[in-house]
Amino acid sequence: MRHHYPTIIWGFIAEVVLTALIYYLIDLRYGIDTAARWVNNTAHTWLFLVGTFWAFSGQLFVIFINMLKTDFGHWLSWRQAEGVYKTALVLSMIVQFSAAAILIFAGSTKNETVGRVALALLILAPLNMWTLGKNVLDLVGLHREFDQNVSGGDRSR
């Protein structure tokens, strides 16, 4: 599965491009300065959502690390998929933590530049969670494949 690292990179680039597009559309509709002030004024409210995302990402990472100790985890390592999902989970935690940190700062400083960065991360955070959900569904599919292979006696499929 080493060849899937470009997929991770592409997935993250797609999230950033979609974030930039939404950011641009917000700028066209409301003006970026108005949107940045709005984010600064509502930052602590958004912090609850992003903090929940961060906690969820962290919890999934802990679950994944514990899962690596099981037969399924060994199978994932054998398939060279462990690193792919570990990387995706760590990136998700970084995005969510960054969004939470900048929202704390945006709510405290009311600086428009900080508000602009916070707006971008506030757009990126839910997009990243959607990707994380897709990764979890992919893991469920791999677990189903593992179960079928184990019950069939062939762990090499």
Is 123 domain-assigned? Answer: yes
Is 154 domain-assigned? Answer: no
Is 124 domain-assigned? Answer: yes
Is 8 domain-assigned? Answer: yes
Please, which pLDDT band fits residue 80 given cuts at 50, 70 and 90? confident
Amino acid identity at 11 = G
Percent of the chain with pLDDT over 90: 80
Question: Count of domains in the chain?
Answer: 1
Is 73 domain-assigned? Answer: yes
Average pLDDT over every residue of 46-70: 96
* pLDDT on residue 156: 54
* pLDDT on residue 144: 94
Three-class HEC string of 79-116: CCCHHHHHHHHHHHHHHHHHHHHHHHHHHHHCCHHHHH
Average pLDDT over every residue of 147-154: 74
Is 157 domain-assigned? Answer: no
Average pLDDT over every residue of 36-50: 96
Is 155 domain-assigned? Answer: no
Domain that holds residue 8: 2-148
* pLDDT on residue 141: 93
* pLDDT on residue 10: 79
pTM over 0.85: yes
Token pair of 58, please? 């962290």
Residues 83-139 pLDDT 10s: 889 989 999 999 999 999 999 999 999 899 999 999 999 999 999 999 999 999 999
State the Cα–Cα distance between residues 80 and 156, nearest whole angstrom.
12
